[in-house]
Amino acid sequence: MFTQLDALLALVRHGTMSAAALSLRVSQSAVSKRIGQLEHQLGKRLIRREGRRTVLTAEGQALVDEVAPLMADLNTVLSRRHSDAREQLSIAVSEAILSSWGAPLLVALREALPELDIHIHTHRSPTIVDKVQAGLYPFGLCAGQLPNQTGLVAEKLLDEPMVLVARSGDLAALGRERETLKALPVLCIEEKSNTWQGLRSQALRLKLEPRWPVESSFAAARLALSGWGHALVPKGVAVALNVLDCSLDLGVEGLSRPATLVCRKQVYLQARDRGLIEVLRGLVFEGSVGGAGE
């Protein structure tokens, strides 16, 4: 029954049969078959078609509400048993963080905890939240604004300042344009991202116009340096590209991106995992983020 319940929960998490199948690495027909088997075993309809969508029935919703926390706890326990045997620990890290200051931080973490075999998994922040909720990873390091109701313990590690990388590296021209233009057009991360959702109100307050959204802050910075336009990016990106000397730090004006460590409450209460959190917090405080948190 475990695989049948897992199929139903995957459908709830991802919204469609195709996305659920992709997450489970099986075919859509396999997902449908597993849910059908579960319905047969329980003698109840759990899902129904609503136009092109598949939604839960009242019985299905009641079952999910009851078993989802139990399944997440079971995944956590199984993962921990495997980790205890091999001294492994998995951390899911936002691609945006890992590609800048996250890499040196994780190297420092591995050196601080040599008894652990740390495994890194990269995803976008919404996917990390989903997988930590499901108990697939004990920890997740997310960038930007998180949903209000995740059911997870969330600890902010730092507020990473945002910077403006000057077009063609011309910091003087950037300064003049900020003084004269009513709104400064900028390259920035795509507006549906967690990062932009958290920055939007602050950016508009500072009269920054998201004229050219792209899917990568590194891409935005490279376009700026090549002359496309000014780019709004996290400071860690400017540090990684060694372009702080042609960037304007907006952290002093209140524009920053939070980086948050998330885990399930059951994980948070474990002594070993509390120790890891303390080590991470200490490394950030000591400056193992390569200047991104300054």
Residue 292: inside a domain: no
The reply to whether 268 and 151 lie within a common domain is yes
C-alpha to C-alpha distance for 84 and 186, rounded to whole angstroms: 48
The pLDDT > 70 percentage for the chain reads: 93
The larger pLDDT score, comparing residue 273 to residue 177, is at: 177
The reply to whether 266 and 153 lie within a common domain is yes
The reply to whether 215 and 248 lie within a common domain is yes
Boundaries of domain holding 199: 160-256
The reply to whether 105 and 44 lie within a common domain is no
Q: What is the pLDDT of residue 78?
A: 67
The CATH number given to whatever domain includes residue 251 is: 3.40.190
Tokens of 68: 């989802």
Residues 6+ positions from 257 with CB-CB distance below 8 Å: 143, 144, 159, 160, 162, 195, 198, 199, 234
Residue 48: inside a domain: yes
The CATH number given to whatever domain includes residue 31 is: 1.10.10.10
The reply to whether 24 and 101 lie within a common domain is no
Angle (CA) 243-248-181 rounded to 5° is 130
pLDDT in tens, 46-91: 888 887 778 888 888 888 888 887 777 777 666 665 545 446 889 9
* Phi, psi torsion values for 134, nearest 5 degrees: -80, -5
* Phi, psi torsion values for 235, nearest 5 degrees: -60, -35
pLDDT in tens, 104-152: 999 999 998 888 889 999 999 989 998 898 888 999 999 988 877 778 9
The reply to whether 173 and 138 lie within a common domain is no
